[in-house]
Amino acid sequence: MEITLSEICERVGGRLQGDPDAVIRGAAPFDTATAEDITFAAGAAFLKKIDQTAAGAVFVPEAFDRGKTNLIRVKNPQLAFTIVLQHLYQPPRPAEGIDSRAVVGENTVFGDQVTLCPNCVVGNGVTIGSRVILYPGVVVGDHVTIGNDVVIYPNVSVLERCIIGSRVIIHAGTVIGSDGFGFASDGRAYYKIPQTGIVQIDDDVEIGANNTIDRAAFDKTWIKRGVKTDNLVHIAHNVTIGEDTIIVAQVGIAGSVTVGRHVTFAGQSAVAGHLSIGDNAIIGPRAGIAKSIPAGQVMSGAPEMPHRQWLRVQRIVPMLPEMKKKISELEKRLASLEGKD
């Protein structure tokens, strides 16, 4: 696969300074790119050393014009680089078609060019769109619906009746539609509350490896368009995650939480049950959210507090022994003054 700089400019809407006919065959990081690669320089640190990359061309911000190498000026260098990389690098895919060692139930409806690898198992009454790839070990339960252009990696379980949109990617080992964690108690033992709902995953969602997304007690757990989750994320029953929200590794979202659009959860953070997180909120790493968060807030810590306050608090925590000592000293000095009176 190859592409000229003029073709790249057309594709990403960039302005070229350099040779329009130069040929690019790969996309690589700034420090390891070769003369056949394109790279990008987004931050000041890279722009400062622009002539140190061996790359055949560099995406740079629109206002940047130094450097002897071929430059393509764009609004968002990383995004332009990503678009070219998506063009040049196609992840390897299994051979198209239904392998004879795949298991397919009754009353299934398949679109065109579906790939079922050996040892994937598709239940009864399943609907699968076009150009879907199910890797080995994938188990799709009865009456599941899957859209178009979906890739499900090995050993993923999608349980009965769940709904998967189009252009969804689910990484290996993930479980979609396990029972929510619901029990009634008589004060001694626990009695299972049947989890009658489903999980619905909308278009353009990417779910990381070994996630667990529970089906709703009633109705649905809902992952909306464009959500991306990292690995080992837990999403409990009846949660709703808004469009374009990012959930980093090992985050836990408890039952019935409602998350808005374009929220960011940093790694290992968690939200307690029945809360709501407003649009565009940012939840810091390892934050433990115990109250609902309004839109646009940046919250950190456990208990949660505004991020700037948390930064100040974090600087003080290690000084606690010193503070305690100082209080004792003040007390003595004060007592001494009082004694003098």
Catalytic residues: 237
Per rule CB under 8 A, count of chain residues that contact a second copy: 121
Select 63 or 337, whichever has its Cβ closest to a second copy.
337
| Residue-level length of the chain | 341
Give one word for 277, left, alpha or beta, with left for phi > 0 and alpha for psi -120 to 50: beta
Q: Which of 6, 76, 127, 130 binds a second copy (CB under 8 A)?
A: 76
Q: Which of 36, 218, 275, 279 binds a second copy (CB under 8 A)?
A: 218
Angle among Cα 88, 115, 171 to the nearest 5 degrees reads: 65
Q: From 6-14, 47-55, 65-73, 244-252, give the range in contact with a second copy by CB under 8 A.
A: 244-252
Q: Which of 71, 270, 277, 281 binds a second copy (CB under 8 A)?
A: 270
Q: From 5-13, 17-25, 65-73, 208-216, give the range in contact with a second copy by CB under 8 A.
A: 208-216
How far, in Å, CA of 1 to CA of 210, rounded?
33
How much is the CA Rg of the chain, to the nearest whole Å? 26
Select 7 or 160, whichever has its Cβ closest to a second copy.
160
In the bound complex, what is the minimum distance in angstroms from residue 107's beta carbon to a second copy?
Answer: 13
Q: Which of 11, 62, 112, 190 binds a second copy (CB under 8 A)?
A: 190
H or E segment and range at residue 7: helix 5-12
| HSE-CB for 139 with a 13 A CA cutoff | 11
154 lies in the site for a second copy, by CB under 8 A = yes
**Which one, of 92, 93, 99, lies nearest residue 117 by Cα?**
99
Select 109 or 323, whichever has its Cβ closest to a second copy.
323
Long-range contacts of 250-253 (CB under 8 A, 24+ apart): none
How far, in Å, CA of 317 to CA of 300, rounded?
15
45 lies in the site for a second copy, by CB under 8 A = no
Q: Which of 206, 295, 298, 307 binds a second copy (CB under 8 A)?
A: 206
Select 21 or 318, whichever has its Cβ closest to a second copy.
318
Q: What are phi and psi of 11, to 5 degrees?
A: -65, -35
183 lies in the site for a second copy, by CB under 8 A = yes
Q: By the 8 A CB rule, do 22 and 56 touch? A: yes
**Which one, of 293, 289, 266, lies nearest residue 277 by Cα?**
293
| Residue whose tokens read 């995650």 | 241
**Which residues in the 283-312 window bind a second copy by CB under 8 A?**
285-286, 288, 290, 301-303, 305, 309-310, 312
How far, in Å, CA of 320 to CA of 322, rounded?
5
228 lies in the site for a second copy, by CB under 8 A = yes
274 lies in the site for a second copy, by CB under 8 A = no
β-strand pairing of 298-300 with 305-306: antiparallel
Provide the mask over 310-339, with x wherever binding to a second copy is found by CB under 8 A and - wherever it is not.
x-xxxxxxxxxx-xx-xx--xx-xx--xx-
Select 52 or 309, whichever has its Cβ closest to a second copy.
309
Q: From 1-9, 63-71, 126-134, 242-250, give the range in contact with a second copy by CB under 8 A.
A: 242-250
| Residue whose tokens read 């000293």 | 329
Q: Which of 13, 43, 118, 294 binds a second copy (CB under 8 A)?
A: 118
